[in-house]
Chain A
């Protein structure tokens, strides 16, 4: 069956290349049938890639070790679900998933818009085709998942940390996000090449961008939870280069989703929006590059490989292409109006954009710095958490504040008097919250105190907005139904507040101690009593190797009852990993988090014990974010009708 997979990928490559070349020729010569043929090639490319993906999935489930990829990433004792998740557990499989998602997006977007935006689609097809050509070429010529060998008896197995339910959903979510950013990029490029830079491309791609942004955001929360329960270092986000690689395009896309509203309303920021779309896409490709090249040291990255050079080349070409296009079309992208006042909704969006992009670039510099120092100084100089935390405070806290101010300012112009009137409730709530927190002893961390106070400010703004809007329309449901985009956005703002509270609570106010205990000894931490009861050693021998799990059992007292287990797992093939012990106290919204750090020769164990207040709000924020995004994403039939009518009228 490997032959079928190889053949299907070769067909995908041919179809993508045809869509790119024939599509470009058809658009230049205005040849309808050739353009339709190129469009069909993009659709067919999805189906041939689907065949290739089905071949690999079948081989994984069947443990067909004649496939080198299956041998390297699965074993006979692996369950069917995790055998399937091995699809994205390695370099070649995840590349195939990337191509599958890319061609699926391509096929969907051109079929759904083929009549409505024919003048743009005719250029979207070759752009998507060119991108698919690159990925299918890599799969055909550089990193094929269909390499074969004489089948061994068993495979090497999947890394234990990837054998987790979160790994079933987290990578595909991220891929849907990363790859989804190709759609607005392709439309932006199409609008610039065709010269049709009116607002239709923005209206047509808004939901695609929102969808990609939602997947990327929710995927990151899933990944954070996976890191929290599986990696065992006591946190959920370590400013790891690969984690940052997902955060950066998300930040750029967040800026775009805000600034695009200014373009729609005032015809401003047209160049800026093109830059943001290109930046978001290039950052997604950059993320792919650093994950796959092995250029950075990360638990998330794939092994060092020759594939990095190809991605770097692709990144450079697409970046130069985007810059050239934007410069070429500058006269067409001139703003039609000016900012009327520094005290207006669009001005706050502008400030929000500057902060988001500044944070994004600060993170990018943090990721690039070790790479550049390794290249030019011969030794990689890493940038640690204090650097990122500093910029998160400097740019993130004002962003949080702006989320509370922006919705209360009117579009175009707002008087100081009207603004102060609108702000009285949020300011009052923030002052009361701040005073209460200081009284409760939360003043020990200034960033934490500021984050909580600003969070109270933003939450009150959202409530004020909902109350005022409901009074004006007479019904909350009617209010949300009339402007799902705005109120979906407010729900997302509420999610960001929950996230801020969760992050501030679990980092600024956490307890983190190390205790060395012998059996029978007790440690007291933040009202919890932990008694080290016994140690169990559980050896497992499978066809794919040996594994020894050293499990410590702790008796709990004080604020928690029962027992808690935490393990250190040593695998001959896959190295050491942790299984942390977590006890959630829903009443106090905090976690007791215990890591088996080290087993000493004298029989004692070093435990790292953390108490993380409000950490569960981070996960809750993920679901609220998802809900808000879905509200904003919900199809708007009236908007679709307007688009159709506008195009019909334009054609006379």
Chain B
């Protein structure tokens, strides 16, 4: 009898938990990134990668893993990549505002 009651409690608790979202809230739209958001995420990935790489190169240069010649050759394109990503993110933000 105890097992039966406990089993029923487990089942009822599960049903309540599963039904809860239908009993509360009215908005049924799933909040997933649209195309513009996807584009922003891609740009942010590019920006973060460039900034992280710059940080790494600075550290590698400081610790002697990269000499001055390599450092100068590597750092330029990365700064450009970071700047381009930032500008593209800004452009998207402006487009959203207009």
Residues on A facing B (Cβ under 8 Å): 1-4, 7-8, 11, 14-15, 18, 26-27, 30-37, 40-41, 43-44, 47-48, 51, 118-119, 122, 194, 196, 198-200, 264-267, 336, 408-415, 417-418, 421-422, 465, 468-469, 471-472, 642, 646, 649-652
Establish whether residues B70 and A418, one from each chain, have CB atoms under 8 Å apart when the complex forms: yes
A264–B22 alpha-carbon span in the complex (Å): 38
Select from chain A the residue with minimum beta-carbon distance to B63: A468
The digit string for B30-64, where 1 denotes a CB below 8 A from any CB of A, is 11110011101110111011001100110110111
A265-B52 contact given A4-B7, A37-B21, A40-B21, CB 8 Å threshold? yes
Select from chain A the residue with minimum beta-carbon distance to B11: A11
Q: Which residues of A contact B86 (CB under 8 A)?
A: none
Establish whether residues A44 and B56, one from each chain, have CB atoms under 8 Å apart when the complex forms: no
A26-B30 contact given A11-B14, A40-B20, CB 8 Å threshold? yes
Establish whether residues A40 and B18, one from each chain, have CB atoms under 8 Å apart when the complex forms: yes
Given contacts A47-B14, A649-B40, 17 further A-B contacts (CB under 8 A): A4-B2, A4-B3, A4-B4, A7-B10, A7-B11, A11-B7, A11-B14, A30-B32, A196-B38, A265-B53, A411-B53, A418-B70, A422-B64, A422-B65, A469-B59, A472-B59, A649-B44
Q: Which residues of A contact B74 (CB under 8 A)?
A: 412-413
A2–B89 alpha-carbon span in the complex (Å): 60
Of the residues A4, A32, A267, contact of B27 by C-beta under 8 Å: A32
Q: Which residues of B contact A119 (CB under 8 A)?
A: 30-33
A48-B14 contact given A26-B30, A37-B22, A40-B20, CB 8 Å threshold? yes
Establish whether residues A33 and B21, one from each chain, have CB atoms under 8 Å apart when the complex forms: yes
Establish whether residues B37 and A652, one from each chain, have CB atoms under 8 Å apart when the complex forms: yes
Select from chain A the residue with minimum beta-carbon distance to B97: A652
Establish whether residues A410 and B70, one from each chain, have CB atoms under 8 Å apart when the complex forms: yes
Select from chain B the residue with minimum beta-carbon distance to A15: B14
Establish whether residues A266 and B49, one from each chain, have CB atoms under 8 Å apart when the complex forms: yes
A601–B18 alpha-carbon span in the complex (Å): 70
A44–B31 alpha-carbon span in the complex (Å): 23
Select from chain B the residue with minimum beta-carbon distance to A39: B21
- 28 inter-chain pairs at a CB distance below 8 angstroms, sorted by A residue, are A2-B3, A4-B2, A7-B3, A11-B10, A27-B30, A30-B29, A32-B30, A44-B14, A118-B31, A265-B49, A267-B49, A336-B46, A408-B65, A409-B65, A410-B70, A411-B56, A411-B57, A413-B73, A414-B65, A415-B69, A415-B70, A418-B64, A422-B64, A471-B63, A650-B33, A651-B33, A651-B37, A652-B93
Q: Which residues of A contact B73 (CB under 8 A)?
A: 413
A471–B64 alpha-carbon span in the complex (Å): 11
The digit string for B5-23, where 1 denotes a CB below 8 A from any CB of A, is 0110011011001111110
A404–B51 alpha-carbon span in the complex (Å): 27
Nearest CB of B to A129, in Å: 12
Establish whether residues B32 and A122, one from each chain, have CB atoms under 8 Å apart when the complex forms: yes
Establish whether residues A650 and B31, one from each chain, have CB atoms under 8 Å apart when the complex forms: no
A465–B63 alpha-carbon span in the complex (Å): 8
A44–B63 alpha-carbon span in the complex (Å): 52
A33–B24 alpha-carbon span in the complex (Å): 9
Nearest CB of B to A540, in Å: 37
Establish whether residues A198 and B41, one from each chain, have CB atoms under 8 Å apart when the complex forms: yes
Nearest CB of A to B26, in Å: 9
Of the residues A40, A412, A465, A650, contact of B41 by C-beta under 8 Å: A650
Establish whether residues B3 and A468, one from each chain, have CB atoms under 8 Å apart when the complex forms: no
A465–B93 alpha-carbon span in the complex (Å): 42
A7–B11 alpha-carbon span in the complex (Å): 8
B4, B11, B60: residue with the most chain A Cβ atoms closer than 10 Å: B60
A468–B4 alpha-carbon span in the complex (Å): 67
Establish whether residues A4 and B6, one from each chain, have CB atoms under 8 Å apart when the complex forms: yes
A3-B7 contact given A265-B52, A267-B45, A418-B70, CB 8 Å threshold? yes
Select from chain B the residue with minimum beta-carbon distance to A2: B3
